[in-house]
Amino acid sequence: MPSLHRAASRVSATENYCHVLLAPCTTGPAVTYPYYSATNLSVPGIEEQARRPDNASGEGCFIPYNLITQHSIPDKSIADCVEALIGAYLLSCGARGALLFMSWLGLRVLPHHLMPVDPPGEEPVKPPKPARSPRSDASSSDEEEDPQPRGAGKNRIIGSLQPYRDENGQWVQVVFGELKAPPSPLLRYIEDPEGELERMLSGYDALEATLQYRFRDRSLLLQALTHASHHQNRLTDCYQRLEFLGDAILDYLITRHLYADSRRHSPGALTDLRSALVNNTIFATLAVRHSFHKYFRHMSPGLNEVLTKYVKIQEENGHSISEEHYLIQEDEMEQAEDVEVPKALGDLFESVAGAIFLDSGMSLGAVWAPYERLMGAELAAFSAAAPKSPVRELLEAEPDTAKFGKPERLADGRRVRVSVEVFGRGTFKGIGRNYRIAKGTAARCALRHLKKHRPHD
């Protein structure tokens, strides 16, 4: 869904995480130097150097902080620090602990409510006991008399902020709840929706056998396989919302797998591995390899033409995963377009993951079990020899001569063109759905040319 992608793009790490830390957290201790007296912490010539003109006009360069006792930290460094803290909580305290930490930072990732509490410093008044049920009568008296969760301190509830006064002067405390799965997507305004659902999913048991997962709510499976053009499906929405969810889930699960790998990949290798394993090309290839496309419900002639062509390419290349097969090359323009891989197939692979996640009660393990089998060969091969992204490979091969230009929006409004100039070798252009894809396509186009015209030793 475009609105979901726009909302997610607003939560930019660099723009938002740099504002979540409190001021004391970003203030370092005073820096002292034993070689200078406490009354004169100045380096000879430092002030003159700070005021020295930095351009031809002779205007001085104003430095808004003390070069001796203060450090300038970029916003991205602070954002990276916050992300590292979230990762530390995830590893040490689990997903719930990481979500609570993010909530403490002010990120809205958990539902919450305000609970009235006693003012700090006063003896708390125990709330009235709820009506007993036969099951509660059998519980121990110690548990009944303890209104607070285990491990909670006095006047403090686990997973909440400190008490504060609301606008009415009442002392309240924020308590964070649990995420809940949305209701079934099955629409019930037609007669016998369950019977219609079984009719539409006739023969789809083979796909569940491939996944080795049996859906409890099969309307999620139907939704995951329905394109927006398939108007005959009157039971569910199309797959776009599930694709949005599955994209994030697979990104996290693959990242977690790579981080836990015994090879202990470097940060650069982790980035390259995730980029190589989490993209539309590999997801579309895996979708065709495991016959997801045979169950895809759509009524778009244009999409059908692209799917048929892509499936043929896959079968001819033995379902290999190589982005070189999917470039439309125009040699006279040195331009390539990354349009041969149907985005709908990659979306299909992601939407099924989102459907399993919701059907299993939001279990990440239930998603990873089938998808680890589906991606096992690629996970093992790529982890053993981490591929470099084409952009990184080009910049390492031509560090001083390769320069990327600004993206240009094409006339259709749906695609972006990015050019990269390699000094003395030519200008190469890439076209894609967004800047990242277009930039990678331009880099692959340049690399192909450089390898083809590599001077012989």
Q: Are residues 414 and 367 in the same domain?
A: no
Q: Are residues 356 and 292 in the same domain?
A: yes
pLDDT confidence bin for 139, thresholds 50/70/90:
very low
User: Which domain-ending residue is among 341, 356, 386?
Assistant: 386
Q: Are residues 174 and 62 in the same domain?
A: no
Residue 136 in domain: no
pLDDT the model gives residue 457: 47
Total tally of structural domains belonging to the chain: 4
Residue 43 in domain: no
User: Which domain-ending residue is among 386, 414, 447?
Assistant: 386
pLDDT digits (tens, 9 = 90+) for 404-442: 999 999 887 778 899 999 998 899 988 877 888 788 888
Residue 274 in domain: yes
Is the model more confident about 439 or about 455?
Answer: 439
Distance of CA 97 to the CA centre of its chain: 19
Pick from 144-153, 367-376, 421-430 the range whose average pLDDT is largest: 367-376
Q: Are residues 198 and 158 in the same domain?
A: no
Residue 292 in domain: yes
pLDDT at 45 over 70: no
Among 317-331, 342-356, 362-376, the minimum mean pLDDT is found in: 317-331
Is the model more confident about 60 or about 76?
Answer: 76
pLDDT at 186 over 70: yes
pLDDT the model gives residue 355: 98
CATH number, domain of 443, equals 3.30.160.20
pLDDT digits (tens, 9 = 90+) for 91-120: 999 999 999 999 988 888 999 888 998 887
Residue type, 108: R
pLDDT at 145 over 50: no
Q: Are residues 242 and 333 in the same domain?
A: yes
Among 116-120, 132-136, 385-389, the minimum mean pLDDT is found in: 132-136
Please give the radius of gyration of the chain, using alpha carbons only, rounded to the nearest integer.
28
Complete DSSP assignment for 104-157: HHT---S-EEEEE-PPTTSPPPPPPPPPP-HHHHTS-HHHHH--SPTT--TT--
Q: Which residues contact 124 (CB under 8 A, 6 or more apart)?
A: 117, 118, 154, 155
Supply angle C-alpha 301, 307, 311, rounded to 5. Answer: 150
Q: Are residues 94 and 166 in the same domain?
A: no
pLDDT the model gives residue 287: 95
pLDDT the model gives residue 325: 42
- Picking from 415, 434, 287, the residue whose alpha carbon sits closest to that of residue 346 is 287
Judged by phi (left if over 0) then psi (alpha if -120 to 50, else beta), residue 416 lies in: beta
Q: Are residues 296 and 425 in the same domain?
A: no
Q: Are residues 362 and 283 in the same domain?
A: yes
H-assigned helices in 267-300? 267-277, 280-289
pLDDT the model gives residue 143: 39
Mean pLDDT of 41-48: 51
pLDDT at 41 over 60: no
Q: Are residues 443 and 372 in the same domain?
A: no
Q: Are residues 166 and 24 in the same domain?
A: no
DSSP 3-state assignment of 71?
coil
pLDDT at 311 over 70: yes
pLDDT digits (tens, 9 = 90+) for 373-383: 999 999 998 88
Residue 1 in domain: no
Q: Which residues contact 169 (CB under 8 A, 6 or more apart)?
A: none
Mean pLDDT of 27-47: 48
User: Which domain-ending residue is among 110, 137, 160?
Assistant: 110
Residue 64 in domain: yes
Separation between Cα atoms, residue 457 and residue 447, nearest integer Å:
19
Is the model more confident about 276 or about 62?
Answer: 276
pLDDT the model gives residue 67: 79
CATH number, domain of 198, equals 1.10.1520.10
Q: Are residues 289 and 344 in the same domain?
A: yes
Mean pLDDT of 388-415: 87
Is the model more confident about 143 or about 53?
Answer: 53
Domain that holds residue 92: 8-30+50-110
pLDDT digits (tens, 9 = 90+) for 232-281: 999 999 999 999 999 999 999 999 999 998 888 888 888 888 888 998 88
Residue 310 in domain: yes
Q: Are residues 381 and 420 in the same domain?
A: no
Tell me the backbone φ, ψ of residue 399, rounded to 5 degrees: -65, -30
pLDDT the model gives residue 292: 96
Tell me the backbone φ, ψ of residue 237, rounded to 5 degrees: -75, 180
- Please report, rounded to a whole number, the percentage of residues in the chain having pLDDT higher than 70: 73
pLDDT at 35 over 60: no
pLDDT the model gives residue 290: 95
pLDDT the model gives residue 44: 54
Residue 251 in domain: yes
pLDDT the model gives residue 304: 92
CB hemisphere CA count around 42 (13 angstroms): 9
Supply angle C-alpha 227, 230, 234, rounded to 5. Answer: 110
pLDDT the model gives residue 36: 42
